[in-house]
Chains A and B, each alone.
Chain A
Amino acid sequence: MAKAATPIAALRRPAVSGRETMATGVRIAVLPPAERISLRAPAGSIGALSQALGLDLPTKPKTSSAKGGRSALWLGPDEWLVIDQTAGDPLADCASVKALHSAAGVSHRNVAFSVSGPAAEATISAGCPQDLSLAAFPVGACSRTILGKIEIVVLRIGEDSFRVECWRSFSDYAWTFLAEAARDAGV
C-alpha cells in the first residue's frame, strides 16, 4: 500500500516554471498552474453547464466570460476552454451535469504566460496573424490561433495585458519566441 503521503504539490514540476523577462515596454512571465477543462456541449446544454460552472458560457466567437477566478473562453461553436485560477475544480462541477456534454481535464496540458505592457500587443503580433488591436480584440476577447509555428490560445485580460496558453511541450518554444519578439516590440 501507499507510503507516507508526500504533499502532492511538492511532486508537481511545471514546465518553464518561474521564467520572467523584461524588454522595452513589455514583461513576459510564466503563470502558475491552473485548473482547466476542455468543455464540449451542444447549445441545449449551455444553461445547465453555466449554472454548474457559476458563469455564463459565452456563445459569440472571440469572446470570454469570467467570474471570480474562473474564465470560460469560446473556442468554437461547441467548445470552451475553462480556466480556474483559484482552488475550484471545474471538472467536478461539470460531473454532476446530466445535460449532454464532454468535459476533459487538461490542467496539465497547457502552460500559461502573461504578456503585459504597452508593447505586449506588438510582441504577440510578431507571430500571430490575428488583429489584436483593442477595437478588434477588446478586453475579454480570446482566440485559438498561432504564434510562429505553434498553436496558442490568447486572451486579452487588460488593455495592454494578455494571457497566452500553449501545450506543455511547446512552452519552451513559446517562451523563446515571445522573449525574442519582445526585443524590438517596444523600440
Chain B
Amino acid sequence: MTKQPFRIPGAGRLTPAKTARFTFDGKHFSGLAGDTLASALLANGVHLTGRSFKYHRPRGILSAGAEEPNALVTIERDSARKTPNVRATVQDLYDGLVASSQNRWPSLSFDVGAVNNIASPMFSAGFYYKTFMWPKSAWAKLYEPKIRAAAGLGVSPDQPDPDHYGSRYAHCEVLVIGGGVAGLAAALAAAESGVRVILADEQSEFGGALRYESGARIDGQSGWDWAQATAARLAAMPNVRLLPRTTAFGYYAQNFVGLVERVTEHLARPDKSLPRERLWQVRAGRVVIAAGAIERHMVFADNDRPGIMLASAARSYLNHHGVAVGRNVGVYTANDSAYHAAIDLKKAGVAIAAIVDLRDNPSGPVVEEARSLGIEVNHGRAVVKVGGTLRVSSMTIEAKGGGARRTVPVDALLMSAGWTPSVHMFSQSRGKVAFDEASHRFLPGTYAQDCISVGACNGTDGLEATLAEGFEAGKEAARAANGVNTKSPPPLTPPRKGEGGTSVSDPPSPLRGGVRDGGIAGRSPSVDSSESWSGGMLGSGPGAGAETTVKAFVDFQNDVTAKDIRQAVREGMRSIEHVKRFTTNGMATDQGKTSNMHGLAIAAETLGKPIPAVGLTTFRAPYTPVTFGSIVGHASGPLFDPTRRTPIHPWSERQGAVFEDVGQWKRAWYYPRAGEDMHAAVNRECVTVRKSAGLFDASTLGKIEVVGPDAAKFMELLYTNPWEKLDPGRCRYGIMLREDGFIYDDGVVGRLASDRFHVTTTTGGAARVMNMMEDYLQTEFPHLNVWLTSISEQWAVIAVQGPNSRKIIEPLIEGIDISDDAFPHMSVREGKICGVPTRLFRMSFTGDRGFEVNVPADYGEAVWEALWEEGRKHGACAYGTEAMHVLRAEKGYIIVGQDTDGTVTPADASVDWAIGKKKKDFVGIRGLQRPDLVASGRKQLVGLKTKDAKLVLEEGAQIVADPKQAIPMKMIGHVTSSYWSENCGRSIALALVVDGKSRMGETIYIPMPDRTIEAEITGMVFYDPKGDRLNG
C-alpha cells in the first residue's frame, strides 16, 4: 500500500518523492522522509495506535510531540533491538521501520483486556493500595504475575543490548534548552558575542511551534524559514554546538544538565561506529530555558477516543507534514489557538464540522476569520458526548447551562483548553513556581540557580515578545559570561502577565518592551506578524462535573479521570502530592505534561480551595524517559569496572593459574597441574612451600612511601607501634587503628632511611589507608614535615618463602649480604637483583624463612622468571592466594577484614604486643580505653580444632556453647577462617568467641543444617609454635 489518502498535495514541507516504507502491527504502509511515525500513520488514516495502561481503552495519537501519553509503540529493528514505549510522535520515520502496538491481546482492535474498562469501578483511584493488601499468599501467585502483566505498557527486551552508547562532558557559557523562537533568538544573541553556546532541542529540526504557526513572519520570511536560516547560521559558528534530537532531561546542582542525544534512532541503516544515543553532561555558566508550552486537552466524557487530539498537533501534521487528521473535523476549545487550526485545515480543503467554544462571547480577528471562511462557531457551548469507540464518529453539543443537544458527525475532533508553560526544567533546577492569578498559570517565580526562563515557558505570549525576551536573555547571558555585569541576576519574582482570563476570556496581551542594544553586535530579528494563544480553562468541562460518572480523562497515560481525582479528595487526600500518588496522576514517564493543571484544578475545586493553596507537585527528572544504555554509556562489558592485573599476571596465565577477584584485582588463586583439582593443588603448594620453597605474587599489596624529617613522628601517630627507635634497614609489623580503637589495617613497614619508610598495607586497604593517612596529615598533624606517595604500582612484589628461599635468591642478588647475621628476619635492604634495583625484605607471611623481592613493576615478570628458574632447581612451586591463606592460618597470622570485622581490637586478636606500651599518643589510643573495649565478655580470636580432624568448618558458621538449648540459640561467636591443612594433617580454623582466650580446651558447638559439629578451643598457632622455622 503506497497511497497515503490523508496526505494533502501541496501542503506541508516534505518531498512527495522521498517515500519510506514501514509496517505497523504487520501491516505495510508508506510515508515520507521527514515524517514521524505518528504523521505517517495519520497520512494513512490510522489513529488507533494503542491500548491504555489500566482500562485497555483504545487510544490514538493525541499530540505531535514529547508530551504524547497515548501513542506508545514498540520499535523493533531486530530480535535484540526492541524498544518499548516509544512515542510515535517523536520517532522519525525511516525506511523499513517496524512498529507494533502495545498492551493489547489478541489484537489492537479486539482486546480481551478491555474487560477492565467494563469492570472499571474495581480499578478506580487507589485500586493498588486497596487491593494488594491481603492475603499475603496472593502476592506471589496472583498480584505480581497476573495483575502486573495486565497493567503496564510495552515489554522489556529479553536479549543483551547490542548497541553502544556515547558519552560526553561539555562546558559552555550558555546552554539553551529548546530551539523554538525564544531559544533560537537566545542562542543567536549569545553566540554573536563569541561565548560558547549549546542549543539542544528534542525535535529533529529547530523551530518549535514555528513548525505549524502559519501566521508567523520574521525578518520578511515565514517563521519556519527564519528558524532554519537561523539554525544554519548558528551551525556555521565555531563557538556553537547545535544538538537536534536531544532532550534536556535532568537539571542538577550548579547548572549541571543532563542531555540525551538520539544519534541513530532516525536512521534506517546506522553506521556501526555511531552510538545509538549519546549522553551529554553539560556544565553551563547560565542556562536559558526556552522549553515552550504544552497545549492542554479538554476534559469531557470519553475524550480519549482515537481521533480526538490537540488542536496544535493537527495543525503541525497539516502545516509541516501535509497530513489532514480527518476529512470532517470538529473543534472544541476554550481559547483562540484552536481557531488557527480550524482555519488552516479549512483553507487546505478539509471540512470543519463546527467549532464549539466554551467562551460566551469569543471575538477578535481569528474568530472573525473563521466565521468569514464559513465555519460554524458555537459559543457558550460544550462537547458533552462523543460517538465511536475505535475512532470518534460524532460530537454532541450542548449549551453550558444544559438544554437541547445536537449531535454532529465528525471523524476527528480537535481540542484546546489553553497552554501550560513547561516549567519542568525550571522546577527541576529547584526554582519555585508562582501562581499567576491573572492568567491562572504557574510561572517561574524564585530562581535557585543561574538560569532564566524565556518565551512561552515563562508565560510570555506573542511572537514579538517571545523573540525579544529570548534575544535579550541570550545577550545578557553572554554579557555575564564576559564579566560585564550590567544587569541583575534573573528576576526573583515572576513578571506579571496581563494576558489571560481566568477561564473563558482573553484580552489581548501587551507585548513586552522592545530590544535595547546592549553593546554587543547583533540585532534582534523583527517580527512582521504573529498569533496570540493566551487564555483557556482548567479542570473538567460541562458534562464531566462532580455529579457525573463519565470517564473524562485528565491523565491519559496513567488512565486517571476527573472522577478519580474527586474520589481521592473524598477519601481524605488533601495535599496535591497525596492526590498524585493515590490516583497516579502525572506520575511516571508522563510527568503530568498535559494533565497536571487539570488535575490540580479539579482537586482544588473539590476541596473548595484556590489553586495555589493546593500547590503544584514537584517535577522530577527525567523530563522524558532515558534509556539505561545512555546512562551507562561506556561502562559496560570490559569497562563496567577496571580489571587490574599485576605485572606477573601474564606468567601466571601461561602457567594455567586459576584467578580470583580481589576487589578490582585478578589474583592467582592456585596453580593446578595436570589432573589436579583445587584441593590437590592447594595441598601440594602448601606442602612444597614448607618442604622447599614457593614463589607468590604479592604485587597487589598497598605500598606507601612516607618521606620527610618527621616521617617517624608521623608513623608513631598513625600506628600503634613504636617507630622512632627502629633502625634504618629494619622492618616491623604495624597495626593501624581507627579513633574508636578497632583494627583498621596492618602490614610490614620497612625503614629505608631515618627519613624514609616503605609502608605496606593490605591489598584491599591500599586506597583507604592512603586516604586516611593523608586526611590525618592535613587535618590533625599539618605541622609535620612529611609527605606520602602511593608506590603500590611502582613495585612488583615477589614473595619467596620456604627453607630454600635464600638459596633461590642468592645467585641473583647483587650488593646485599643476605646471610642471617647481616640480614636477619625483619630486615630491608636496597640493592640489585638480576641487575635491576630492588628493595629486598626479609619477612615471612608463612612462618618459614622468607623474602619479599620488590622490583620496579616493568621488571616484575622477568625477575619472577629468573627466580622461577632458580626455584625449579630446588623443587619450589608457585603458589596462589589460597595456599597463602592456609599457610598464614597455620601460623595464626590474621587477615584484616577476614578475621577482623571493624569491631576487633588488637587485644581481641592477640596482637596487642604490637602496641608501644610507652607511647602517649596514636590514633585510637583513647578509643582503646573505652569501657566496652576493656570489659570482659568481648569476642576474642582463638583457634578451633574440630573433634573430627577431617571435618572442615564453614567460614561464617555460628558457634554455641550448648547445642541442646532451645532455638533461637545464644550464639557466642563465629568461624572467621577455616581450611584443610595438609601440613598439619587436619582441619584448622580461627574463630571469634566470647571470652575465647579464657576458654582454652573447652568444647564448643557449631550447629549446621545437617548436624552439629564439635570443636575444641585452642591457641591460634597450629604449626611450629616456637617459630624456629623463620630461620630454618
Contact = CB atoms under 8 A, between A and B. Distances in A.
Given A2-B813, A104-B707, A150-B642, A8 B789 contact: no
B275 interface: yes
B791 A187 contact: no
B55 to A, nearest CB: 43
B275 A177 contact: no
A101 to B, nearest CB: 8
A126 B862 contact: no
Interface string A1-37: 1110110101111110000000110000000010000
Interface residues of B, number: 60
Interface stretch (B141-149, B161-169, B551-559, B689-697): B161-169
Given A11-B863, A102-B789, A168 B647 contact: yes
Contacts of A133: 171, 196
Interface string A144-187: 00001110000000000000000111101100110011011001
A169 B666 CA distance: 10
Given A13-B861, A105-B794, A107-B856, A125 B789 contact: no
B229 interface: no
A126 to B, nearest CB: 5
A101 B263 CA distance: 52
A168 B278 contact: no
Contacts of B263: 184
B576 to A, nearest CB: 37
The winner among B281, B813, B860 for most chain A CB atoms within 10 A is B860
B793 A173 contact: no
Given A102-B787, A108-B857, A172-B643, A11 B835 contact: yes
Given A136-B171, A169-B645, A172-B645, A40 B793 contact: no
A3 B168 contact: no
Interface stretch (B46-54, B633-641, B899-907): B633-641
B707 A102 contact: yes
A148 B811 CA distance: 45
Nearest to A17: B858
A: interface residue count bin: 35 or more
A103 B643 CA distance: 29
A104 B644 CA distance: 23
B708 A100 contact: yes
Contact of A184 (B278, B638, B641): B278
Interface string B618-657: 0000000000000001110011011111110010000000
A55 to B, nearest CB: 20
A78 B665 CA distance: 31
Contact of A126 (B167, B196, B644, B856): B167
Contact of B835 (A8, A24, A122, A173): A8
A115 B405 CA distance: 75
B856 A180 contact: no
Interface in B805-863: 811-814, 832, 834-836, 856-863
A58 B696 CA distance: 42
A1 B811 contact: yes
Contact of A102 (B281, B708, B814, B860): B708
Nearest to A79: B787
Contacts of B969: none
Contacts of B166: 126, 181, 184
A177 B164 CA distance: 13
B639 A129 contact: no
B271 A187 contact: yes
A116 B836 CA distance: 34
Interface of A: 1-3, 5-6, 8, 10-15, 23-24, 33, 38, 40, 42, 78, 100-110, 122, 125-131, 133, 136, 148-150, 167-170, 172-173, 176-177, 180-181, 183-184, 187
Contact of A109 (B650, B708, B793): B793
Contacts of B709: 100
A176 B638 contact: yes
Given A2-B812, A40-B787, A168-B647, A12 B862 contact: yes
A6 B835 contact: yes
Interface string B165-200: 011111100000000000000000000000010000
B639 A11 contact: no
B363 to A, nearest CB: 55
A169 B858 contact: no
Nearest to A100: B785
A125 B835 contact: no
B809 to A, nearest CB: 11
Contacts of B169: 125-130
Contacts of A130: 169
Given A5-B835, A104-B791, A187-B274, A13 B858 contact: yes
Contact of A108 (B167, B642, B644, B793): B793
A109 B790 CA distance: 9
B137 interface: no
B829 to A, nearest CB: 15
A168 B857 contact: yes
B861 to A, nearest CB: 5
B794 A14 contact: no
B998 interface: no
Contact of B858 (A1, A108, A187): A108
Interface in B325-368: none
Contacts of A187: 271, 273-274
Interface in B856-875: 856-863
Contacts of A105: 791, 794, 856
Nearest to B665: A169
27 contacts: A2-B811, A2-B814, A10-B862, A11-B862, A11-B863, A12-B858, A13-B861, A13-B862, A15-B858, A78-B787, A104-B705, A106-B794, A108-B856, A108-B857, A126-B168, A126-B169, A128-B169, A130-B169, A136-B171, A150-B642, A169-B645, A176-B638, A177-B634, A181-B634, A183-B164, A184-B273, A184-B274
Given A13-B862, A125-B169, 8 more contacts: A11-B834, A11-B863, A100-B709, A126-B167, A133-B171, A148-B635, A150-B642, A184-B273
B25 to A, nearest CB: 34
A125 B633 CA distance: 13
The winner among A24, A172, A180 for most chain B CB atoms within 10 A is A180
A100 B836 CA distance: 29
B639 A176 contact: yes
Contacts of A167: 792-793
Contacts of B708: 100, 102
B639 A148 contact: yes
Given A107-B794, A108-B857, A177-B634, A38 B789 contact: yes
B864 to A, nearest CB: 10
B319 to A, nearest CB: 33
A168 B643 contact: no
Contacts of A24: 273
Nearest to B812: A2
B274 to A, nearest CB: 6
Contacts of B650: 13
B245 interface: no
A181 B835 CA distance: 40
Contacts of B321: none
A183 B273 contact: yes
Nearest to B758: A104
A71 B274 CA distance: 37
Contacts of A177: 634, 639
B812 A3 contact: yes
B751 interface: no
Interface in B271-289: 271, 273-275, 278, 281, 283
Nearest to B833: A2
Contacts of B641: 149
B946 to A, nearest CB: 39
Given A127-B634, A177-B639, A184 B275 contact: yes
A108 B791 CA distance: 9
A173 B794 contact: no
Contacts of A109: 790-794, 857
Contacts of B789: 38, 40, 102, 104, 106
